[in-house]
Amino acid sequence: MVVKNISENLLKYKTITPPDDHLRAYISEFLKNAYKIPVSKKDVKINKKIAYVKVASVVKSEIFLKKHLLIDAIKDVFGKKLISDIK
C-alpha cells in the first residue's frame, strides 16, 4: 500500500471555486456599498456564471450600466472571473 503525502491529496481541492453563498454575499454587499442599492443575499442567484439580481427594473438598468465594475471587483477579490454577466 502506497501512502500519499497529504499535500498531494489536497491538490485536487485547490481549484474549487468558493461556494455561491460567499459570492452572493459579496455581490449584495458591493451593491449596498458602491451603488447604495439595498439588495439582500437571498435576492442574488447564480447560475452558470451569470448573477441574477431580483430588484426593480430601474435599479437593474443602473446595475447593467456599471456591471463591469462589479465583475472586475469579484475577479480581484476571488482571484478568478466567477461571474461573466449580471442580469
Per residue in 32-60, pLDDT tens?
998 888 899 899 999 999 999 999 999 89
Alpha carbon dihedral 76, 77, 80, 84, in 10-degree steps, equals: -80
Strand-strand pairing, 50-53 and 85-86: parallel
3-state DSSP call for residue 46? strand
Question: In the predicted model, is pLDDT for residue 17 greater than 70?
Answer: no
> What stretches of the chain show up as alpha helix (H) in DSSP?
6-10, 20-35, 57-65, 67-78
Amino acid 16: pLDDT: 67
pTM: 0.74
Residue type for 75, please? K
Q: How far is CA 42 from CA 2, 23, 77, in A?
A: 46, 12, 21
- Which pLDDT score is estimated for 53? 94
The rounded distance, in Å, linking the Cα atoms of 46 and 83 is: 8
Per-residue confidence (pLDDT) for residue 21, from 0 to 100: 86
